[in-house]
Structure 1
Amino acid sequence: MDSDPSLLDGAFWLTTASILLLLVLSGFFSGSETALTASSRGKLRAQADKGSRGAQKALEITDDNERLIGSVLLGNNLVNILAASLATALFTRLFGESGVALATLVMTLLVLVFAEVLPKTYAITNAEKAAAAVAPVIGVVVTVFSPVVAAVRLLVRGVLRLFGVQIDPDSNILAVREEIAGALQLGHSEGVVEKEDRDRILGALDLGDRTVEEIMLHRSNIEMIDADADPESILKQCLESRHTRLPVFRGQPENIVGVVHAKDLFRAMYAQAGGGEGSADRLKSFDILKVANAPYFVPETTTLDDQMREFLRMHSHFALVVDEYGSLRGLITLEDILEEIVGEIADEFDVDEDVTVTRTEDGQYLVEGSMTIRDLNRAMDWSLPDDEANTIAGLVIHEAQMIPTVGQVFSFHGFRFEVVEREGNRITWLKVRPL
């Protein structure tokens, strides 16, 4: 190195100060990029609702990630290239031709440590705090560089189009629902989120993707009242039933003419009998249709989310499900939909119901064929597909492409299924175990 003191003049110190300033700017851009892309929009929204202007600004500039990333990368590359050029000129002046290699080595080390690793490490560990802090400045940078970024964006999309890659500017890389579901599954696998909490939130998110057909009570299991039955039989049936609302049919079960509420029925019968000191003979002319409400029919393709909103809007808890031909398929209640979120809701009438999943001595699980795949997945934390069938029996029949006989064994989707019991063409019990 030349010992000439003229080399350490004002230009030397000005260049050195400029390089250090550019390194600081490079670290700012690198840290800002990491903070704004790694921060949770949900947390930023919570901070913005509490009055944080920085968080609100961060939400605004992250709405268009492509423009944000383009602006930050443009600023970062400008300062990095300028810093490298000044360092090369400075080191060449001090050390001659060998200064080029020395400048490359020194600047690589400085940029790596102080302009990349250090700011990004801080930003990723304090993402929301850092994003709120840098958002106002980055907002100005995005506005200043927006014309250049827009031109670069058009150029990039044109080049990608040549290779058959189409970019939708309005599409989200990751849907909010998928992001929440993924975070819940990850949290559960790491032991942070309890299984019950995960199931409740996922159940609420799935309401828009599931239809009433999947959870309805099938028509073969619906308890109905014959409108032409004598009042004594109707009263006895209602007293013995564990249901509050019962459909009323006339002629044939498909012909639903009303829905009666047990309380309305008892009140009307009590009044017609003449009160506590009346006569039961007066009930002979009782007409149940006078106290029955009009039946409420819904298509089997209605989503659970829409149906729940309709129940709340109509102040109703009970609906009959029909297919495209108007034929009765089943019934659904508001409680059925709520159970998809919170799990089974047991009352004094449900506690004696049989358990639908029982572990056998050989390590298999005895499952009722009518149990839905979703309920089994939820109970056992399995992942059997429910795209082609709603029940376990339906899944076996779909995969086997036949109605199996007792004793037949099938293996698919990583599970072993054995038919244990069958009634007619209906599979009633199976043994299931993971392979």
Structure 2
Amino acid sequence: MQTPFLDTAFWLTAAAILGLLLMSGFFSGSETALTAASRAKLRNRADKGEKGAEAALNVTEDSERLIGAILLGNNVVNILSASLATALFTRLFGDSGVALATLVMTALVLIFSEVLPKTYAISNPETVASRVARPIRILIVLLAPIVTVVRTIVRGILFLFGYRTDADQHMFSIHEEIAGALAIGTSEGTVDKEDRDRLLGALDLGNRTVEEIMRHRSQIEMIDAEADPSELLAQVLASPHTRLPLYKGERENVVGVIHAKDLLRAVERFLRTGDGKLESVSDLDVMKVAMKPYFVPETTPLDEQMREFLKRRTHFALVVDEYGDLKGLLTLEDILEEIVGEITDEFDPKAERQLKPTETGDYIVDGAMTIRDLNRETDWSLPDDEANTIAGLVIHEAQTIPDMGQVFSFHGFRFEVIERKDNRITKIKIRPLLSLLG
């Protein structure tokens, strides 16, 4: 006569529990690998002809269906294995077998079906994802009807609470993935801060607008189109800029843009065909030399504006608001500087540095310095949602135009106004509050 430990039912049940635990481990590891794998790395492998990587890219396209199928399969095998274990232990140990089965199955599931497979999967997610993608794709097809019903129920419940899911939403964000990788690389010392800033600057162009980096109209060097051509020529030659806006009557009325080379060519032709005397340049019609001004809205994203510059083969645009009023100007160089940093040449005026650290740990900051540039140089994280410049941030937080000597504390920093001209804050002393406490 066979003992309970040796009969066929015992061994079949034990084998079934073991098989279910292995399946649970497969589902857990697959979920971790497919959600943690870098799509960029998978795409690189797929481009090299790796079929498993191509399959992994396909199954992760619909993240909701993927997660639904894996969770359904994982829960079914876990519940079934726990039920079989309870039946087996109850048969062996009576009523006390329920508690014993719970303890044993919890330990087995935790170690062999959760921690072990997930640890292995996270150590090399792209390789594991490539290996499990095809079986998971079969699982998704088999469980598609059930998963569809579950998705409908879940979306209906979320809809009742006012949340609508996006059917095309992916679990992966390329920008966030790259930004996270750069942050980790910088903290570990494998990526230079300058390289990180350049890459993040390029990625961030689509999230920023022309208004944020344009030169304000008060800082634009302009030329009166009705001035004497000889005076205009002298002003163009004295300017460090190659392109200058022309206005008539008032500065808001921009009628053209003069390029230094075009003007010099026109003067050269005028002298050759005329009497050859420089005094006769006063008869030159400057408007015939000027280019038509190119106006852009202040809300245009920087990446879109850069494409427009390249498409139009121009580097210079005047920025207007929704009412058509002049707000400032923008050049292609301004956009490139958001990626590579400040670009200067031998003709640029030597301006005073906008950020000066002091021996006491303070920073003397030009009020016109943008918050983004300050964050970039200091690795701070001052918000730029409500203002573009440091002076604008202080005014926004103070809800007034501060007087010289006033001190404010917000966002973890101490701000002291040390210079003001009219209604403009021109110099601010900034210091992190943590350094004051230290």
TM-score, normalization by structure 2:
0.89
Among candidates 363, 368, 378, match of residue 361 of structure 2: 363
Residues 373 and 384, structure 1, Cα contact 8 Å, conserved in 2:
yes
- Give the gaps of 5 or more residues in structure 1: none
Structure 1 SS opposite 2:143: helix
Deviations 1:241-266 (A, max 9, x none): 11111112233322222111111111
Match of 2:299 in 1: 301
Task: Please state how far the C-alpha of 1:136 moved relative to its aligned partner.
Answer: 0.4
CA distance in 2, matches of 1:158, 1:326: 47
Structure 2 SS opposite 1:319: strand
- Letter of the 1:200 partner, please give it: R
Among candidates 28, 35, 41, match of residue 43 of structure 1: 41
Match of 1:168 in 2: 165
Residues 23 and 111, structure 1, Cα contact 8 Å, conserved in 2:
yes
Task: Please state how far the C-alpha of 1:100 moved relative to its aligned partner.
Answer: 5.0
Identity %: 66
Give the direction of change, closer, same or farther, for the CA distance of 1:140–1:429 in structure 2 (3 Å limit). same
Structure 2 SS opposite 1:8: coil
Structure 2 SS opposite 1:418: strand
- Letter of the 1:295 partner, please give it: P
Residues 225 and 247, structure 1, Cα contact 8 Å, conserved in 2:
yes
Give the direction of change, closer, same or farther, for the CA distance of 1:275–1:417 in structure 2 (3 Å limit). farther
Deviations 1:386-415 (A, max 9, x none): 222222222222222222222222222222
Residues 63 and 171, structure 2, Cα contact 8 Å, conserved in 1:
no
Match of 2:390 in 1: 392
Give the direction of change, closer, same or farther, for the CA distance of 1:430–1:138 in structure 2 (3 Å limit). same
Among candidates 133, 136, 139, match of residue 135 of structure 1: 133
Match of 1:325 in 2: 323
Match of 1:408 in 2: 406
Task: Please state how far the C-alpha of 1:8 moved relative to its aligned partner.
Answer: 2.7
Residues 216 and 328, structure 2, Cα contact 8 Å, conserved in 1:
yes
Deviations 1:55-88 (A, max 9, x none): 2222222222222222222222333333344445
Task: Please state how far the C-alpha of 1:161 moved relative to its aligned partner.
Answer: 5.4
- Taking the TM superposition and a 5 Å limit, the aligned residue runs for 1:113-262 are 113-159=111-157, 164=161, 166-170=163-167, 171-172=169-170, 175-262=173-260
Among candidates 308, 311, 314, match of residue 313 of structure 1: 311
Residues 25 and 79, structure 1, Cα contact 8 Å, conserved in 2:
yes
Deviations 1:198-231 (A, max 9, x none): 3223222332232222211122222222223333
Give the direction of change, closer, same or farther, for the CA distance of 1:167–1:191 in structure 2 (3 Å limit). farther
Residues 408 and 419, structure 1, Cα contact 8 Å, conserved in 2:
yes
- Letter of the 2:56 partner, please give it: A
Give the direction of change, closer, same or farther, for the CA distance of 1:361–1:80 in structure 2 (3 Å limit). closer
Task: Please state how far the C-alpha of 1:168 moved relative to its aligned partner.
Answer: 0.7
Residues 22 and 113, structure 2, Cα contact 8 Å, conserved in 1:
yes
CA distance in 2, matches of 1:87, 1:325: 75
- Letter of the 1:377 partner, please give it: N
- After the TM superposition, which of the residue ranges 132-141 and 185-194 deviates more from structure 2? 185-194
The alignment status of 1:292 with 2:278, answered yes or no, reads: no
CA distance in 1, matches of 2:93, 2:419: 90
Residues 248 and 254, structure 2, Cα contact 8 Å, conserved in 1:
yes
- Letter of the 2:401 partner, please give it: I
CA distance in 2, matches of 1:410, 1:134: 57
TM-score, normalization by structure 1:
0.89
Match of 2:436 in 1: none
Residues 273 and 281, structure 1, Cα contact 8 Å, conserved in 2:
no
- How many pairs does the alignment contain? 432
The alignment status of 1:56 with 2:51, answered yes or no, reads: no
Task: Please state how far the C-alpha of 1:232 moved relative to its aligned partner.
Answer: 2.6
CA distance in 2, matches of 1:210, 1:336: 13
Deviations 1:281-326 (A, max 9, x none): 4423211212111111112222222211211111110011122332
CA distance in 2, matches of 1:354, 1:101: 76
Give the direction of change, closer, same or farther, for the CA distance of 1:224–1:114 in structure 2 (3 Å limit). same
Structure 2 SS opposite 1:421: strand
- Taking the TM superposition and a 5 Å limit, the aligned residue runs for 1:329-368 are 329-350=327-348, 352-368=350-366
